[in-house]
């Protein structure tokens, strides 16, 4: 009987950062994809790495983060629109009649 922790650490918050790590369970995309085929020793090592990092993100925190990400994307789009409007105002400078 194995004493290693081989449970799947997935928290169902599958989003990947720039380093291609899941923001919910902190596994790489390859680790997530091949989890069922990985040997128990490898699964245990991955779970140990996640535990040493501080564990996974809770589902509640993950949902909150997703909501905040959505708000940020909306605000960034609005900011881009406002910057475009402003650059239109700063376009060619017209000299005022003297």
Domain spans of the chain? 1-56, 58-91
The pLDDT value recorded for residue 97 is 59
The pLDDT value recorded for residue 90 is 82
What radius of gyration do the chain's Cα atoms show? 23
Residues 6+ apart with CB under 8 A from 58: 11
The pLDDT value recorded for residue 1 is 44
Alpha carbon separation from 28 to 5, 69, 75 (Å, rounded): 18, 21, 29
The pLDDT value recorded for residue 32 is 95
**Residue where the block lists tokens 């996974």:** 56
Chain centroid offset of residue 62 CA:
9
First to last CA, the chain: 92
pTM (predicted TM-score): 0.59
Report residues of the chain scoring pLDDT below 70.
1-3, 92-98
């Amino acid at each position: 009987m194995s004493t290693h922790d081989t449970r799947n650490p997935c928290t169902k918050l599958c989003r990947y950062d720039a380093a291609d790590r899941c923001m919910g369970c902190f596994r790489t995309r390859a680790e997530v994809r091949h989890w069922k085929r990985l040997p128990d020793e490898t699964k245990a090592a991955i779970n140990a790495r996640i535990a040493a990092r501080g564990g996974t993100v809770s589902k509640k925190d993950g949902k909150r983060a997703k909501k905040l990400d959505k708000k940020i994307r909306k605000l960034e789009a609005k900011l881009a629109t406002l910057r475009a409007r402003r650059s239109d105002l700063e376009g060619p400078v017209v000299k005022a009649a003297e």
